[in-house]
């Protein structure tokens, strides 16, 4: 049977595409730089977050920036709620350049997103969960914080600021 030259060509091209598609999926699954929700932070009672009472909670503190207990870097505790970040929206979060910043982010109500605009600092913020991740900022600068999960009528206004200071 004779196979036309163009048939062979297109057959070959479609095989290349199939391999390429599988390659992108494999890369997404095991490649570098792809991080989903940090689940190191553990869980938290969503009602506790809503009440803002963290006295009895050993893996979350009142929203704010704290020196790390080991003396290196800082811990930042952030509560997202419709439609702000505390801290971050009313006042910028200030973190030091060149030190490890451990973020602990949770929500007082619905699912939100937390993204530092223009970076790969990006997590979902899920009720009952604490998203935890480390970032070291090598340069000073100002970043916008955006909520990238639809969370209600004010979603598009939900934003904040983070300043990396010397
Ligand atoms: Cu919070 Cu969208």
For residue 98, give the CATH number of its domain.
Answer: 2.60.40.420
Q: Do 92 and 115 sit in the same domain of this protein? A: yes
Which pTM does this prediction carry?
0.77
Task: Compute the CA torsion angle 76, 79, 84, 89 (nearest 10 deg).
Answer: -20
> Which is the closest atom of ligand 1 to the Cα of 152?
2
Q: Do 62 and 125 belong to one domain? A: yes
The reply to whether ligand 1 has any atom less than 6 angstroms from the CB of 158 is yes
- Domain assignment of residue 40, yes or no: no
Domain identity same for 25 and 57: no
Whether residue 158 lies inside any domain: the answer is yes
User: How would you label 67-102 residue by residue, b for 16+ Cβ within 10 Å and e otherwise?
Assistant: eeeeeebbbbbbbbbbbbbbbbbeebbebbeeebbb
Does one domain contain both 23 and 78? no
* 99 and 158 fall within a common domain: yes
Complex ipTM tops 0.95: yes
Residue 71 is predicted with a pLDDT of 81
Query: Are 98 and 139 members of one domain?
Result: yes
> Does ligand 1 have an atom closer than 6 angstroms to the CB of 145?
no
For residue 157, the 8-state DSSP code is: G
Closest listed residue to residue 65, CA positions, set 88, 90, 97, 39:
88
Q: What is the number of domains present in the chain? A: 2
Rounded distance from Cα 66 to ligand 1 centre (Å): 25
Q: What is the pLDDT of residue 36?
A: 52
Q: What is the pLDDT of residue 34?
A: 47
Same domain? 71 vs 27: no
In a domain, 41, yes or no: no
Among positive and negative, which fits the CA dihedral 52, 136, 41, 142?
positive
149 inside domain: yes
For residue 32, give the DSSP letter: T
Is the minimum distance from the CB of 105 to ligand 1 under 6 angstroms? no
Query: 3-class SS at 6?
Result: helix
**Pair (23, 68) in one structural domain:** no
Residue ranges making up the domain that contains 60: 46-165
**Residues 107 and 79 sit within 8 Å (Cβ to Cβ):** yes
User: CB neighbours (10 Å) of residue 111?
Assistant: 15
The answer to whether 57 and 73 are in contact (CB under 8 A) is no
pLDDT of residue 37: 52
Nearest CA to ligand 1 atom 1: 112
- Weakly modelled stretches of the chain, pLDDT under 50: 34-35
With respect to residue 39, please indicate whether it lies within any of the assigned structural domains: no
Q: Is residue 80 part of a domain?
A: yes
CA of 111, closest atom in ligand 1: 1
CA angle, 162 as apex, 43 and 96 as ends, to 5°?
A: 90
Burial class of residue 18, CB neighbours in 10 A (0-12, 13-18, 19+): exposed
Residues 26 and 77 grouped into a single domain: no
N- to C-terminal Cα separation, the chain: 74
């Amino acid at each position: 049977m004779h196979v036309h030259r163009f048939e062979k060509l297109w057959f070959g091209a479609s095989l290349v595409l199939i391999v390429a598609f599988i390659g992108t999926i494999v890369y997404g699954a095991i490649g570098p730089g792809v991080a989903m929700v940090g689940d190191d932070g553990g869980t938290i009672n969503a009602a506790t977050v809503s009440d803002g009472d963290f006295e009895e909670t050993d893996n979350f503190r009142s929203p704010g920036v704290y020196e790390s207990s080991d003396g290196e870097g800082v811990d930042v505790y952030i509560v997202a709620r419709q439609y702000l970040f505390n801290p971050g929206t009313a006042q910028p979060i200030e973190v030091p350049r060149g030190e490890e910043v451990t973020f602990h982010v949770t929500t007082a109500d619905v699912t939100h997103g937390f993204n530092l605009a223009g970076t790969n600092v990006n997590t979902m913020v899920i009720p009952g969960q604490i998203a935890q991740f480390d970032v070291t900022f090598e340069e000073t600068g100002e970043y916008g914080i955006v909520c990238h999960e639809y969370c209600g009528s004010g979603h598009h206004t939900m934003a904040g600021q983070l300043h990396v200071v010397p």
